[in-house]
A and B are shown apart, each in its own frame.
Chain A
Amino acid sequence: MTDTLGTSVRRKEDRRLVTGRGRFVGDLTLPRMRHVAFLRSAHAHARLRNVDASAARAAGFRVFTGADFAAVSMRAVSGLPSYVETDQPVLAHDKVCFAGEPIAVVVAADRYLAEDGLELIDVDYDPLPVTVCAWNPPAAPVHPQAPDNVLLERTFTAGSVENALTDSHLVFKRELITNRHSAQPLECRAGVALWDDAIDRLTYWNATQVPHVMRNMLAELLGLREGQVRVIAPDVGGGFGVKSVIYPEDVTLCLMARALPGIPLKWVEDRSEHLLAAAHARDHRYLLQAAFAADGTLLALDADVTCNVGAYSVYPWTAGLEPLMAGGLLTGPYKLANYRCTVRGVATNTAPAGPYRGVSRPATVFAMEAVFDEAAARLDIDPAELRRRNAIAPDDIPYTMPSRLVDDSGHYLECLQMALDAVGYEELRAEQRRRRAAGEPPMGIGMALYNELTGLGRAASAGPRMPFRTGHDACTVRMNPDGRATVISGVSSQGQGLETTVAQIVADALGIGYDDVEVRLGDTDEALWGFGAFSSRQSVIGGGAAHLAAGVVRDKVLALAAELIEANVEDLRIEAGQVYVAGEPKPSISLAEVARVAYLESNRLPEGFEPGLESTRFYDPIRGAFAAGAQVAAVEVDTATGALSILNYVCVEDAGRVLHPRIVEGQICGAIAQGLGGALYEHLVYDDAGNLAGGTLLDYLMPTSAEVPDLVIDHIARPAANPLGVRGVGEGGTLGPYAVLAGAVRDALGVPISSLPVSPATVWQDLQS
């Protein structure tokens, strides 16, 4: 049978990945290859008086400095009225704006020697005042275009908050701060750039989530024709958003390659560089004022959100990335008529903030759920019940959120109820009361509901007003002369198993075996177009394109088969690579024979049939598919040390139609682990001078398998209105843990949690008060 869609079929990529034969950028070796190392700023904010590379050059190193590429700058563009456009140099020349910013590059025979070369470069810094915190008054402008450091400010409004905030039964304020952290994929950034001057072409092998976007923007930044640029993303070891950015290091590598034709230049980022200079995220403050009716109905929310966007407006996504997502999704799966939310992105002398799995929503869910936890405590309503009274329900669909995004889901309470049942909510409440009475270690229950906006089409992706809309992807499905298929998809994979899911989709649509479908990804010379992996978009959009393209090929196969066997096309169906006529138990013709005719036997081709069996189709869902989710956990607090033990952790999500259960559960588990890291461990701390404290994984604590509890994961499956019925599932898991764990600790101690991460030290401090 060919029914692999919806089953946990063996992943196509696993043989090479699990046996250590994946091919990553780091594995790439080319003739004449040279290695580069970046000299990074030791200051957070300083004029560069002089960058003296003479000693390095005298020692035989090829060195590039900011002066070499001063004509190139990266300017993330948005049409939003308040957005201030600023420039990011590819190598700093006039001044540096964060510690870790690239200043110069050394080219050498290997990375060891390149780092020796870095030690020979002398930089003369003239320190400037440093701004680290986005909500304290700025010490000095980071960019001359924005004297107040505000790169973007926008207010979302719906209804009127004024009356509710004065007249309601319950009105309260909360201030919440989330911790700067970052994705930390197993493979850091990496690239190999080669300029072939025999054909005037640039090839850039890059650990990227966005090969086509990279091609498009490299061509523009380097002044090349798009056809002169080829971007290849081979196996990529995790992305989580951090690799959907076009970084100055990428552009520098390609600029250097042009200056050194025929010499492949390789840069494999190390972990220290990654911690310093790859995209950070989630450094936010939420000032909230909420109004509730006595029955627990949320009446109004007035919010002021400041996002620390770091030194530069992240290219090409802009400094609006986090603030706009925060304002657009803050209210999440809750009904609300009166909403006012001012969001701003503020530049500081810290590493640029960029996309990280969940973009802002782990923080907004934390903020929103903190409001409900506060209201539940003040109104003495069970927290689960309070959520029931406010969540968007299926009857409300389509529900226009106060930010005017349209929710197509509404299945939140079903997820919540399943999660509460799975965790044994009533029993846990009884246990909690028993412990309180017995003076045993306190236990708390936390919960979160969320709506993950996935698969954004052109309408849903219009918000940031960038000069492109990320609503579509292309896919080419080619049936080969042997009746098997080659798929060239515009999706990109960083370990999520896209080769597998695309093959499942095409096998299903064509009626051939999963093993008879080969999928090729990541090469812009092969695939027509794909925006890449972000916003939980690829199974919806790239999957939709694969489904549509395969459908066109199937239709042509059937039409050709009908002519060849002289049957009505309506009576034909494909099963396991064979064409059957309705009512007949035996196949009438094989796909291999039909395909052979299409390519090799034009003598048998019916009138009007063009040879070949191939289709390329785009898909754009126009809107998005919201994926509902609920997470519930119970924690125990060690009152002597502040240590937390997670007793249970349950997640119930709606992935729509599940294409591959194990991949979906892997996405959810990994996302929850990253969320748990953000809630309890991961914190990028700058000192007042703008130096990143620590700077290795000795101090930047990521959860390991020992810290992640056993997760109970369950699904509801409410198909979305797209060709496959799927809802994205890549990010949802990250949205819950901050809220759930902070809520559980609050529930255990009776003390509101206002900042993350929650650590033994913070819990211990709360216990002292």
Chain B
Amino acid sequence: MKPAAFDYVRAGSVEETVSVLAEAAGDAKILAGGQSLVPMMALRLARPTVLVDINRIPDLDAVRRTDGAVEVGALVRHRDLTDQTEHPLLAEAARWIGHTAIRTRGTVAGSIAHADPAAELPVVALATGATATVIGPRGTRIVAADDLFVGPLMTTLADEDLVTAVRFPLPSRWGFAEFARRHGDFALVTAVTAELDDAVRIVLGGIGPVPRRATAAEAVLAAGGTAGDAADAAAQEIDPTGDLHGSAAFRRAIAAEMVRRALAGAGIGQGRA
């Protein structure tokens, strides 16, 4: 359980990071918190030839309240989210991530770029309509969470891209519910609901290759349905698979319950408008 040999570059700037990534032509990985990457390297499931350490790049560690949103830099740790009060949904979600040591090192942007289908923050990103600031060889662009996740551990980001910040809009109402075998485990199901500009999004994690909007459930709510109706709709529109921790039917039932609980937490669809 030791990594294969790799080169290590301590990047001093975003530009240097991008140029090292580009030079490596897909064989480099960014080291931020390392909480997913390093174990995968130890198991030799990931074998980058170059590791670009961005931890010393200045000015990437801020949590900023902007107009109607909270923007976090590439080096903001999960722990920084639990400690802030500007974005209560992010604070709640971050509490469910791993354990203290993991939250202290793991980064928000790293979690989103890593795109684990059972991780919390990609679900929150999709639910809040978050946007990532991405810098690559051809400059800066903004990528919406809606356009980011394409499969397990797969995003639309290119190998030479660095996510420098993620902007999470502040929902007017929100709810978070998660079911895991143990505290700190990757979720069997995470449900996040967020109300932004009077539109309610419901997003599920852990039930497929990518976080998924429960659009049928959202439509039920938009049509005046109850949280229970929406939860049932959500359970029907997903296509979970069974694994060591339970059957597909079990996961579907848990998904419905988590949607119900997230909506209850948000005070949405509770019968009295």
Contacts and interface: CB of A to CB of B under 8 A. Distances in A.
Given A272-B43, A681-B181, A704-B183, A112 B5 contact: yes
Contacts of A760: 179, 181, 246, 250, 254
Nearest to A680: B181
B246 A759 contact: yes
Q: Considering the complex of A and B, which 8 residue pairs feature the smallest CB-CB distances, nearest first? A: A761-B246, A270-B1, A706-B183, A112-B2, A640-B257, A761-B250, A115-B2, A111-B2
Most buried by B among A643, A699, A703, A761: A761
Given A272-B43, A761-B245, A764-B246, A116 B257 contact: no
Interface of A: 111-112, 115-116, 270-273, 640-643, 681, 683, 685, 693-694, 696, 698-699, 701, 703-704, 706-707, 759-761, 764-765
A761 B247 contact: yes
Interface string B167-211: 000000000000101111110000000000000000000000000
B62 interface: no
A681 B2 contact: no
B71 to A, nearest CB: 31
B257 A641 contact: yes
A549 B259 CA distance: 68
A116 B5 contact: yes
A687 to B, nearest CB: 11
Given A272-B43, A641-B254, A764-B253, A707 B245 contact: no
Given A699-B244, A704-B182, A759-B245, 15 more contacts: A112-B5, A115-B1, A116-B4, A640-B253, A640-B260, A693-B244, A694-B244, A696-B43, A703-B182, A706-B184, A760-B246, A760-B250, A764-B250, A765-B247, A765-B250
B1 to A, nearest CB: 4
Contacts of A707: 182-183
Nearest to B245: A761
Interface string B136-171: 000000000000000000000000000000000000
B3 interface: yes
B182 to A, nearest CB: 6
A699 B185 CA distance: 9
Nearest to A685: B244
Contacts of B184: 704, 706
Most buried by B among A116, A641, A759: A641
Interface of B: 1-5, 39, 43-44, 99, 179, 181-186, 244-247, 250, 253-254, 257, 260
Nearest to A699: B244
Contacts of A273: 1
Nearest to A761: B246
A271 B185 CA distance: 18
Contacts of B2: 111-112, 115
B182 A272 contact: no
Chain A binding surface, main DSSP class:
loop
Nearest to B246: A761
B181 A701 contact: yes
A640 B252 CA distance: 11
Contacts of A759: 181, 245-246
Contact of A701 (B1, B185, B246): B185
11 contacts: A111-B2, A115-B4, A115-B44, A640-B260, A693-B244, A698-B186, A704-B182, A759-B246, A761-B245, A764-B250, A764-B254
A271 B181 CA distance: 20
A272 B2 CA distance: 11
Nearest to A638: B257
A759 B244 CA distance: 11
Contacts of A640: 253, 257, 260
Contacts of B44: 115
A575 to B, nearest CB: 49
Given A693-B244, A764-B253, A643 B179 contact: yes
Nearest to B186: A698
A494 B250 CA distance: 41
B94 to A, nearest CB: 16
A96 B182 CA distance: 35
Contacts of B257: 640-641
Contacts of A641: 179, 253-254, 257
Most buried by A among B1, B3, B39: B1
Nearest to B185: A701
Contacts of B4: 115-116
Contacts of B183: 704, 706-707
A704 to B, nearest CB: 6
A270 to B, nearest CB: 4
B1 A271 contact: yes
A640 B2 CA distance: 42
A273 B43 CA distance: 11
Contacts of B43: 272, 696
A351 B191 CA distance: 39
A741 to B, nearest CB: 15
B118 to A, nearest CB: 10
B35 to A, nearest CB: 12
A694 B43 CA distance: 12
Contacts of B254: 641, 760, 764
Contacts of B179: 641, 643, 760
B253 to A, nearest CB: 6
A116 B44 CA distance: 10
A759 B185 CA distance: 15
A698 B254 CA distance: 20
A640 B181 CA distance: 15
Nearest to A272: B1
A271 B183 CA distance: 21
